[in-house]
Amino acid sequence: MRKFLRDKRHPALDFLRYVGPGLIVAVGFIDPGNWAANLAAGSQFGYKLLWVITLSTIMLAFLQHNVAHLGIVTGKCLSENATQYLKPVVSRIILGTAVLASISTAVAEILGGAIALEMLFKLPIPVGAVLTAGLVIWFLFSNSYSKIEKVIIGFVSLIGLALLFEIFIIPHIDWISAAKATIRPSISSASIPIIMSALGAVVMPHNLFLHSEVIQSRQWNLENEAVIQKQLKFEFFDTLFSMFLGWVINSAIIIIAAAVFFPKVVTEINQAQEMLTPLLGPASAIIFALAFLFAGIASSVTAGMAGGSIFAGIFSEPYDIHDPHSKLGVLITIVAATIAICVLSLVTTTFNILIYSQVFLSLQLPITIFLQIYLTSSKKVMGKYKNVWYTKMLLLLMGLLITVLNIILVMNTFS
């Protein structure tokens, strides 16, 4: 990771120069899986489930903020800290499941890119998956982190602009109902599966590992107490800003689905795109598919980075695409996910592939969350920056809530 140099001539620009790591993580919050869940929520229940996005964003911001502190204070990512402070057998098992979680995440992300290429160019899913994976591997292997960060920020901006265009051309949006639904919970027996899916799966294990890694790009001097304090402050605002953008984009998808599709149930991305054409015109369908393509490619890149970071951490190394362990971790993540998509697409639907990937993430996520809580609450690891008792309690409550939701989600999936 590159070192971030402070500009002494323009101290007011320090924070703007710091923005970036949070946006890298926010991409995982607007990935193809979230698009599918949001379209289902808006098309089935109108604006009523917007509050779920608000609650899940608050939970996500709190957890990501906490794991970023680990990276700032220790100068090492979650994977490196696990290798250093856990028994070798325990750390290898935990990090092995984390690599599998990154592969599972990459399945959904690369599949999203393949679905977008199918919508735009009628390419078969396996062909689209191979093209998406090839682009991601080339991009990660041939660019520095700073350039990747800029491109990801560009992708997030394009996704936001595309959704703003969609909202602009929709003739009737009930903004008053949408505003109320954002903060007013509404629960029915029929909406519980979608609520559990959104709350239980919005925090993704690979993002917790990734945030603790990419935050290293902003380190100035860990031995300077004043610098650490400034980093912690800037990271907090970067995380809040990035999660806010994720909240806006996810809310926009639900609003579009509620205004255009409700009460027609939409469960497939292709179905949503096809329905947009007669309702809002061919331009809206193309822009929708392009935004989904940007989301699929950007999230695939971050999934590959996370896999490389976790794998390198097993060998007590930071993520560096020129290092063999990081490069191998990226290849394992992207190639394994692509093979899984090509094989599974021959025997089941894309919707089922997404479900299978989310099930494994649901099983692994509690392991990562409680690993994070253990490390960030340890004085040996964090020194005086360890979690205070009420922060630890909030983290444990969130971990338990997400664990229960994921268990119920897995049980409902198999039933």
What residues contact residue 286 under an 8 Å CB cut-off, 6+ apart?
120
Other beta carbons within 10 Å of 383: 10
Other beta carbons within 10 Å of 48: 23
The pLDDT, as a whole number, for residue 4 is: 44
The pLDDT, as a whole number, for residue 22 is: 83
Contact 63, 395 (CB under 8 A): yes
Contact 103, 334 (CB under 8 A): no
Contact 172, 259 (CB under 8 A): yes
d(CA 205, CA 59): 14
Contact 95, 262 (CB under 8 A): no
Contact 224, 238 (CB under 8 A): no
Closest CA relative to residue 27, chosen from 100, 105, 103: 105
The pLDDT, as a whole number, for residue 203 is: 79
The pLDDT, as a whole number, for residue 11 is: 53
d(CA 74, CA 121): 47
3-state secondary structure of 184: coil
Closest CA relative to residue 243, chosen from 278, 212, 202: 202
Kindly provide the b/e burial profile for residues 155-184, where b requires at least 16 CB atoms within 10 angstroms of the residue's own CB: bbebbbebbeebeeebeebeeebbeebbee
Identify the sign of the CA torsion 52, 306, 414, 395. Answer: negative
3-state SS, one letter per residue, for 80-134: HHHHHHCCHHHHHHHHHHHHHHHHHHHHHHHHHHHHHHHHHHCCCHHHHHHHHHH
Q: What is this structure's pTM?
A: 0.90
Domains of the chain: 11-414 (1.20.1740.10)
> pLDDT tens per residue, the chain (415 residues)?
444 444 455 555 666 667 778 888 888 888 888 888 888 889 999 999 999 999 989 999 999 999 999 998 898 999 999 999 999 999 999 999 999 999 999 999 999 999 999 999 999 999 999 999 999 999 999 988 889 988 998 999 999 999 999 899 888 899 999 999 999 998 887 787 778 767 766 778 999 999 999 988 766 556 667 777 777 778 888 899 999 999 999 999 999 999 998 888 887 787 787 878 776 778 888 998 999 999 999 999 999 999 999 999 999 999 999 999 999 999 999 999 999 999 999 998 887 787 778 778 878 889 999 999 999 999 999 999 999 999 999 999 988 988 887 777 777 767 6
